[in-house]
Amino acid sequence: MSQQRQGSTPGNTGAVPAFPDLPEATIARLPEYLRALHNLAETGSETVSSEGLAAAAGVNSAKLRKDLSHLGSYGTRGVGYDVALLIDQIEYILGLDQRRAVALVGVGNLGHALAGYDGFASRGFRIVALFDADPEQVGQALNGLTVRHVEELGRAVVEEGITIGVIATPAGAAQAVADDLVAAGVTSILNFAPCVLAVPAGVDVRKVDLAIELQILSFHEHRKASLTALPGGRSPQAGNQEAVGS
């Protein structure tokens, strides 16, 4: 979708290797590799083979090698990958070395959980501001932060250096919040509201809809049920043997 080339002339050997334009599919897997690598580092492993890391991340080993080769990886043939080095590489590529400030809008049911989710902090993300439109919610303390009114969003984004916005509002309010975030200069949005957001070019939106995942599972349940019921479907060997990619 973005085939513009980089300024990296062939033979470029600068200290910072320009910016590699990785396939989107590869990017989506890097966080999983990173998690597996952290686990390995905790167990004391200094190197991993592509086979071992692939197993820990739940992917094909060839795919993992190709992914890592895209970011000019430093593996050693006959040995494997240096765990610590690879962690640094991937964290640099993902921009996790600079801790990112996140704003969370909507502290309802889901927002509460997100505000307290420790999986964010442990990956280098820090929620620095909470907002809500409901006066009932405004003012309450939550995880060390005070919920502010959504009108203050614009100012806070600039003052706190926020680069990522998380929308956990009802669907009806999501577009207005997105507009506010974009107006304030946020260029990355994680949307939990079940609706499509319209944003200008240059702004990235990722959507997570919990109900959609269940519906996809429901489809497979339905399919499996109809197969076992049919005379033709004799062996229940359908389905994927491993986690389905997101």
Binding residues for DNA restricted to 55-114, rule: CB under 7 A: 59-63, 65-66, 68-69, 73-81
Residues in region 23-42 near a second copy by CB under 8 A: 27-28, 30-32, 34-36
Coil, strand or helix at 64: helix
Report strand pairing: 204-207 vs 188-191.
Answer: parallel
Q: Provide the residue type at 86 as one letter.
A: L
Of positions 63, 85, 173, 233, contacts a second copy by CB under 8 A:
233
Nearer of residues 19 and 74 to a second copy, judged by Cβ? 19
Contacts of 44 (CB under 8 A, 6+ apart): none
From the list a second copy, DNA, none, which binds 206 (C-beta under 5 to 8 Å, kind-based)? Answer: a second copy
CB of 182 to DNA, least distance (A): 22
CA-wise closest residue to 190 among 172, 202, 178: 178
Among 171, 193, 181, 169, which Cα is nearest to 108's?
169
The CA-CA-CA angle for residues 8, 12, 18, to 5°, reads: 45
- Residue numbers 101-160 binding a second copy by CB under 8 A: 102, 109-110, 112-114, 116-120, 122-125
Binding site for DNA (CB under 7 A): 1, 3, 23-26, 48-51, 59-63, 65-66, 68-69, 73-81, 245
